[in-house]
Amino acid sequence: MIKLKAVLALTLGCLLTLSVQAVEVRDHHKEVIGKDCKTCHDNGIKQFPSDQSCLQCHDVDDLAEQTARNEEDKWQNPHNNLHYGKELPCQECHGEHQPKQPMCNNCHTFKFDKHKQ
């Protein structure tokens, strides 16, 4: 019985680690990640969150302002870029359970020093 409990604890521990530790948790996500999965997984736990999920808390215009670049490079703003405007879904560049690269890197050598996976 004790053994079983230990296995269970270990399994649960692993699950929790899986969801929390995979990437460095952003401070503002500590409240939700690993506690209530449905906060983000609005399409069901086994499906990816919807593209609108992140927008429950984040505002695209604010994000665009935070990552704005100067006039010459204005279209390199990942949150308001030349190719897709403000419509690029968050999950293209950000993941909570797996690291991701900025999508621009497919074709460009831009640096995004503050990019958090």
Partner 1 sequence: MKDANLLGRRNFIKGMGAAAGVAIAAPAMAISEKADGVKWDKEVEVLIIGSGFAGLAAAIEASRKGAKDVHIFEKMSYFGGNSAINGGLFAAPGTPMQKQEGVKDSVDRMVADQMKSGRGVADEALLRHVAEHAVEALQMTMDAGSEFHPYLQQLGGHSVARTYQTTVSCGAGITQPLLNECRKLGVHTHNRAKFEGFLVGDKGEIVGVKMRENYHFGEDQPGKISHIRAKRGVIMATGGFAQNINLRMAQDPTLTAEVGCTNAPGATGEGMYEMFRLGAIPVHLAHIQSGPWASPDEGGFGYVSNYTIYNFPHSLAIHRLTGKRFMNEIADRKTRADAELSCRDEKGEALPPILITSYKDSKKHPNTKKVIKYNVGWKFDTIEELAKHFEVPLKPLKAQIEEYNSYVKSGDDKQFGKNMTKAKDKFIEAPFTVVRLWPKVHYCQGGVQITTKAEVKDSFTGQPISGLYAAGEVCGGIHGVSRLGSCSIPECMVMGMTAARSVMQA
| Binding positions for partner 1, rule: CB under 8 A | 43, 46-48, 50-51, 72, 75, 82-85, 87-89, 91-92, 105-110
117 class by beta-carbon count within 10 Å (0-12 exposed, 13-18 middle, 19+ buried): middle
In the complex, minimum distance from the CB of residue 98 to partner 1, in angstroms, rounded to a whole number:
10
In the complex, least distance from residue 46 CB atom to partner 1, rounded to whole angstroms: 7
Instruction: Please state the closest distance from residue 22 (CB atom) to partner 1, in A.
Output: 15
Helix (H, G, I), strand (E, B) or coil at 85: strand
| Comparison of 31 and 61: residue with beta carbon closer to partner 1 | 61
Closest separation in Å from C-beta 14 to partner 1? 20
Q: Which is nearer to partner 1, 33 or 88 (CB)?
A: 88
In this complex, which beta carbon is closest to partner 1, that of residue 50 or of residue 67?
50
Q: Which is nearer to partner 1, 30 or 83 (CB)?
A: 83
Structure tokens at 50: 């919807």
10 vs 80: CA distance, rounded Å: 44
Question: Is the CA virtual torsion 79, 83, 84, 89 positive or negative?
Answer: negative
CA 53 to centroid of chain Cα atoms: 11
